[in-house]
Structure 1
């Protein structure tokens, strides 16, 4: 009986929407599965050398960077969020969104900007030498080291914690805080004994996003010469031309990510976080006066200057110096490549996001929840890992289809076709940024009453007609936001693009990084500024999405 019920339920759910959604989920999972399976493959001589002499340093560097940036970013983001949420001070409303803008500057751009500004010939040391007759001791403020990587990543990733915890503070019931104040708690006691425990879910969520970004980073670590597993994957791939060893390094990176997930689950073990929504009201802010008010404003202002305004103004200055040299025909080619790849990638992401969100909305169950997690899992996997898995998958496809290429394409047997095409890069983008499109569309579906769809079904309309005539008009805004977020993330993406791009296919992100590596810092400014302006648009869309 149970078997017949299960088969009937399977037949009910099996339609074109469900089948295509499952195909999308399989495409997302396969590259990661390839990386995991590399543990069971025979090892190469290069891998034995890496394992014996280098792997420990790579893991140590990754963990040190993750631990330092995760801790410092959380402290800064949480402190700023509590200040903005709990106190009234001059310019508070402006700082509420200004403190999010550091997210608009990709860390690898901030890395070369600050390293140039603090170098011997940079603006800071030159000003002290020429105007104040002061000479810095070598190594005092230069940041081309691990401390520089920690400084840059901390300064430009803290908004993840800031945004999530600020939203949490503003939406939570103020009853707990008012009750604590009647019991005599205030100041630091109130913050550490009440605010921190009730905000733990938001803090952990923001810290996890920062950890994923740090583990995914290649540009900052590579530019500052920091040994991490991400940089090791690039060196193994481009230096040793050993994809098997690179896949094993990617597998080790996945192990670290799994460890982070397990740690997060352990921290939440047997803890429940709940708020009485019926008593929820905005947090009553305490008005600061005199010195404390202006000191708080100064702290927010200093953070905004260091994390956004100073590097932004410096890039404008460099752009004005070099735009005539850079603004050539090949620059427009870079823009065209970037726009083309981002448009196609975002379009495919939107397509699968609509399919997945609708399937989950039509058939809510545990399996649907699992499908949602699978579809959005790519964002938690570093770009280098996704790239390694996609490359291995496409090389395997080339091997399997090699016998068809001479007949269909007129090329020699054994020629790589798929693994040298832009299709491989687009596939990597879709896997990596599916979460942006899916989350936006899923959020849109939560605002559509089920009765609308049920009324269409009662009138004898099918799934496809109901989608186009009933759901799509209501989802249009969410779909466009998801498309825009995916588009802008693809425009900024560096490690995945560096690894999967076809020959002679450069984007704004890769050219910016190449200029920086070649120490042509001023010439990197125009493309950097363009990427930052696009990122500001991304931040605005995120804020609008959160408001809705």
Structure 2
């Protein structure tokens, strides 16, 4: 048993010191999350009007229109598939429904750009589908029309197939939590099951559904790999092109500010709607919604409608990628690929530990000192989930590149020594970008577990002489181990899949699996891109399996 410190004065001093340490770290983390957004705004404002005028005359309206079209298509697609599938598996019973209610989550493991590689391989002009069509019909290349996969519509389909599980999970949870009282009352008043769903169950689940759709939209505007590979010009591709191809930092910052403003507007809308929308169950008893057994053609139709997203979003792409990988000449066990894997694991593991540590500091400080200061720090820390990786990359590179250049100039002039790129040339700035981007996910997982720790436990630990840090170490962390492991796993997988920030900020000659897949696909070596894509997919399946286990238990 640990020795207990009974000195009240000593315990108080150590408690004050520990609280100050937690507060300082929490505010530093919040400042780090705010820095890239402030830097983007400052660089955009000081970039002059010439750049933004040129953008307005050339590409800005096109970027905005394409991004808006993509957002609308993805919102409608994820809403239709997610809500429809959630309602079918919740309210009906047919052969295979238990399998489908879990399998519908599986496409979440796919990065959208990996799905794009798979479908381009079979649907593009030299792919097996069009080749077979020409062989069977005898048509030439100009004798028929075929949907173009490399288009805005094709990018929207890829994003819909991997993002609808956000809406499905939240909508299904909302339907499961609803009591049957209101639904059965509508049925007793003569409403058909469809009308009762439309007028009663759907409005009650609307806050959860809106949250899922907004999450899908935020992922859409943050996507770079899919739209870049398909040649779709959005704000995300414009930022990368302006920074690397044109070398215009002001243009990149101003495009990043436009995208940042749109993302933050969506975040504010989501929080406002979630905060104002409240629905209460009628009555004290909670009876789940009645599920109806369907048979015959209705059962076949229900199974087909739920199976199509699973087939197109997971089973078929996995089969295609495996075939592509077997036909490639990429050796996963070669020294080069071992280096890619080591780099990916290093970045993902380090970022996961740093991000979860930051989440613990923010979450525990909010518990220690509830008030405006801690609430503001928590809110700022959550802003990163709404900011695309490319925006964060630009926001960090602009100030730290200026710092590196100024330091190098001063060292050359004073000591005749070149320091090079101390910050922007290291992986630590990239780790900071990952922390800003994924801190909200880790913080949500940590706070979900922290809510189960009763405040009386804190009082009991303090009465036994424990300082705040001692209470965290000896009481909170052992109880929160499952939540912390979940947070670590979520951040780890998200970093493995992250492409735009890694592509922009990675040190020279420090490539990851995601970068290798993107590079091979850009060179039209799709078979080779399948190998690193399969590794990313295998890692991405880990959190999805955890989600499926929770769905299965429920």
Query: TM class by shorter-chain length?
Result: over 0.9
Aligned to 1:510: 515
Q: Name the stretch that deviates more: 340-349 or 460-469.
A: 460-469
Q: Aligned equivalents of 1:539 and 1:277: distance in 2?
A: 35
Aligned to 2:3: none
Q: 1:407 to 1:46 in 2, by over 3 A?
A: closer
Q: Aligned equivalents of 1:356 and 1:479: distance in 2?
A: 14
Aligned to 2:477: 472
Q: 1:276 to 1:507 in 2, by over 3 A?
A: farther
Secondary structure of 1:120's aligned partner = coil
Aligned to 1:349: 355
Aligned to 1:180: 186
Q: Aligned equivalents of 1:159 and 1:391: distance in 2?
A: 33
Q: Aligned equivalents of 1:44 and 1:239: distance in 2?
A: 21
Query: Does residue 464 of structure 2 align to residue 459 of structure 1?
Result: yes
Deviation at 1:39, TM superposition (A): 4.1
Deviation at 1:264, TM superposition (A): 4.8
Match among 236, 260, 263 for residue 242 of structure 2: 236
Match among 417, 437, 445 for residue 442 of structure 2: 437
Deviation at 1:124, TM superposition (A): 1.6
Deviation at 1:538, TM superposition (A): 2.0
Q: Name the stretch that deviates more: 160-169 or 536-545.
A: 536-545
Alpha-carbon RMSD across the aligned residues, in angstroms, is 2.6
Secondary structure of 1:510's aligned partner = helix
Q: 1:269 to 1:28 in 2, by over 3 A?
A: closer
Deviation at 1:481, TM superposition (A): 1.1
Query: Does residue 28 of structure 2 align to residue 23 of structure 1?
Result: yes
The size of the alignment, in residue pairs, is 538
Aligned to 2:252: 246
Q: Aligned equivalents of 2:416 and 2:472: distance in 1?
A: 43
Please tell me whether the aligned partners of residues 162 and 313 of structure 2 are also in contact (alpha carbons under 8 angstroms): yes
Q: Name the stretch that deviates more: 117-126 or 106-115.
A: 117-126
Match among 388, 394, 401 for residue 394 of structure 2: 388
Please tell me whether the aligned partners of residues 82 and 166 of structure 2 are also in contact (alpha carbons under 8 angstroms): yes
Please tell me whether the aligned partners of residues 38 and 251 of structure 1 are also in contact (alpha carbons under 8 angstroms): no
Secondary structure of 1:376's aligned partner = helix
Aligned to 1:287: 293
Q: Aligned equivalents of 2:19 and 2:415: distance in 1?
A: 36
Q: Aligned equivalents of 1:446 and 1:408: distance in 2?
A: 55
Q: TM-score, normalised by structure 2?
A: 0.91
Secondary structure of 2:33's aligned partner = helix
Aligned to 1:43: 48
Query: Does residue 65 of structure 2 align to residue 60 of structure 1?
Result: yes
Aligned to 1:125: 130
Q: Name the stretch that deviates more: 67-76 or 485-494.
A: 67-76
Aligned to 2:533: 528
Query: Does residue 492 of structure 2 align to residue 481 of structure 1?
Result: no
Q: Name the stretch that deviates more: 356-365 or 316-325.
A: 316-325
Q: 1:326 to 1:533 in 2, by over 3 A?
A: closer
Secondary structure of 2:328's aligned partner = helix
Q: 1:456 to 1:266 in 2, by over 3 A?
A: closer
Q: Name the stretch that deviates more: 509-518 or 371-380.
A: 371-380
Q: 1:100 to 1:128 in 2, by over 3 A?
A: same
Query: Does residue 160 of structure 2 align to residue 154 of structure 1?
Result: yes
Query: Does residue 306 of structure 2 align to residue 300 of structure 1?
Result: yes
Match among 98, 103, 108 for residue 103 of structure 1: 108
Q: 1:280 to 1:364 in 2, by over 3 A?
A: farther
Match among 248, 270, 279 for residue 273 of structure 1: 279
